Every structure is written in structure tokens, then in C-alpha cells.
Amino acid sequence: AQSVTQLDSQVPVFEEAPVELRCNYSSSVSVYLFWYVQYPNQGLQLLLKYLSGSTLVKGINGFEAEFNKSQTSFHLRKPSVHISDTAEYFCAVSEMLPNQFYFGTGTSLTVIP
Amino acid sequence: DGGITQSPKYLFRKEGQNVTLSCEQNLNHDAMYWYRQDPGQGLRLIYYSQIVNDFQKGDIAEGYSVSREKKESFPLTVTSAQKNPTAFYLCASSLDGNMNTEAFFGQGTRLTVV
């Protein structure tokens, strides 16, 4: 089974500064990668996904992520954060079969005015 | 609008009682999942179902039961055997259990044992 590591449990960042949220996964077999965002007491919303093709993936709200197979990483980045980006972010991995999703423990992003 | 509906949003249970959480989807998805979320532990898989009338245990199935009698419904029962049921429960679905697409999530049910 996969394991997903989000090294930073909390990331504070000033408004309009860049941010990177890190994600590493355990297996180098064919995987599919996702980033989700969760606002308090709500479900998870998909930010972006990597299924195949270009290793640089662009998502909603100005976020992007880069798939690095050799380093088994899928870090999330945004060049300039807004107050509204304050939320919990989850990295997820799924393998070929069956379609199970493995989640990291989450990173709490706090944008400071 | 298509989506996943979880009900109720908040649920209180007395110790020793069973309680059932509802999850309905109108996305025509084959696969459905139940996750438990606790602070600092991320999402842990309780049960999943790839197709109607079939389901498998996830990592923390003890004390929980599910059924999948209809494609659109995947209710979760938290039994009295679950020793620490207070948590946030998330239901999700994906298009096909054998095609790797993203999971879509409901808004969650917060269960509190009183």
C-alpha cells in the first residue's frame, strides 16, 4: 500500500508571498496524484490532478504542482497567496488497481494579512 | 446539480447506540468510499465499494458496517462496537473503480458521542 507524507503540518505565510506545500509518496509504480483543499467543516474539493502527460499541472485558484517521478514528489505551489487560501490541503495518491485513494495527514495553510 | 449528499451534517449519539450515516450520489459513479477524519491524522479509509452489492474493508473497518444495495446509495452504520466514534465522516465517489479519476466528496457528517 502507498504511504503519503506531507512534511509540514502547518505553514504560515504572509499575504501575496509565494508558498510551497510538500508531498512525497512511497511507491514509484504507476500512480495518479491529486491535491485537495478543505475549508472548515466542509468536504474536500479538488485543486488539481496528475494522471499522465506534462509533469507540471495547473489547477484552480492559481495553484500548480509538479510531478517528479525520480523523487516521488508532487509539491503544490502558488506564486502569490490570498487570505482566502487559508485552509487545509491534502495530497492524495491512487494506484492502478483498485482505485483506492491514499491521503496525507494534511497541511494547514494560514495566510497572514 | 450533480453531487454527493451526506446527511445529517451533525449527529449526536449516546454510547451503546448504533447510528447510520447517509450518503447519496447522483453522479452515476460506480465506486463509493467512506473515510474517517480525525485532527492530525488525515483521512482513513473505512470501507469502499467498486460496484453495487459488493464492498471491501478499508484500514479501519472494525466497528463499522456498510451496504450497497443501490448504485447511488452507500450508508455507513457506526455500531456500538466502535470504541471511539466521535469524528468527521466523509463519503466520496469516483467514476469507475478501475479507472483512475478523482474522488468527489460530500460535505461530511460530524458525529459526536454524548
User: What is the predicted pLDDT for the residue at A20?
Assistant: 98
User: What is the predicted pLDDT for the residue at B39?
Assistant: 85
Rounded Cα gap, residues B97 and B68, in angstroms:
14
Residue tagged 484552480 (cell numbers):
A60
C-alpha cell at B35: 473515510
Are B106 and B92 a contacting pair, CB within 8 Å? Answer: yes
Residue tagged 454527493 (cell numbers):
B4
Collect all residues from A whose CB is shorter than 8 A from any CB in B. 9, 32, 34, 36, 41-46, 49, 51, 90, 92, 94, 96-101, 103-106
pLDDT tens-place values along chain B, 114 residues long: 679 999 999 999 998 899 999 999 999 999 999 999 998 888 999 999 999 999 999 999 999 999 999 999 999 999 988 889 999 999 999 987 666 688 999 999 999 998
Contact criterion met (CB < 8 Å) for B42 and A106: yes
User: What is the predicted pLDDT for the residue at B100?
Assistant: 67
Q: Which of A41, A98, A104 sits opposite B108 (nearest CB)?
A: A41
Eight-state DSSP code of residue B99: B
Rounded Cα gap, residues A14 and A81, in angstroms:
8
Nearest in space to A32 (alpha carbons), one of A8, A50, A9: A50
Interface mutation vs chain A, best among B11, B51, B102, B111, most A CBs within 10 Å: B102
> What are the chain A neighbours of B24 within 8 Å (beta carbons)?
none
Using CA atoms, how far residue A29 sits from A90, A95, B59, B102, in Å, is: 21, 8, 21, 18
SS3 A40: coil
User: What is the predicted pLDDT for the residue at A99?
Assistant: 65
Rounded Cα gap, residues A111 and A101, in angstroms:
28
DSSP string, A51-94: SSS-SEEE-GGG-EEEEETTTTEEEEEESS--GGG-EEEEEEEE
Asked whether the predicted pLDDT for residue A14 surpasses 90, the reply is: yes
Contact criterion met (CB < 8 Å) for A101 and B33: yes
Q: Which of B42, B97, B107 sits opposite A43 (nearest CB)?
A: B107
User: What is the predicted pLDDT for the residue at B83?
Assistant: 87
The predicted-structure confidence for A30-68, as pLDDT tens digits, reads as follows: 788 999 999 988 999 999 999 888 889 999 999 999 999
The predicted-structure confidence for A71-109, as pLDDT tens digits, reads as follows: 999 999 999 999 999 999 999 998 766 667 889 999 999
The count of C-alpha atoms lying within 13 angstroms of the C-alpha of B64, restricted to the half-sphere facing its C-beta, is 27
Q: Which of A42, A46, A51 sits opposite B100 (nearest CB)?
A: A51
Contact criterion met (CB < 8 Å) for B33 and A98: no
> What are the chain B neighbours of A104 within 8 Å (beta carbons)?
42
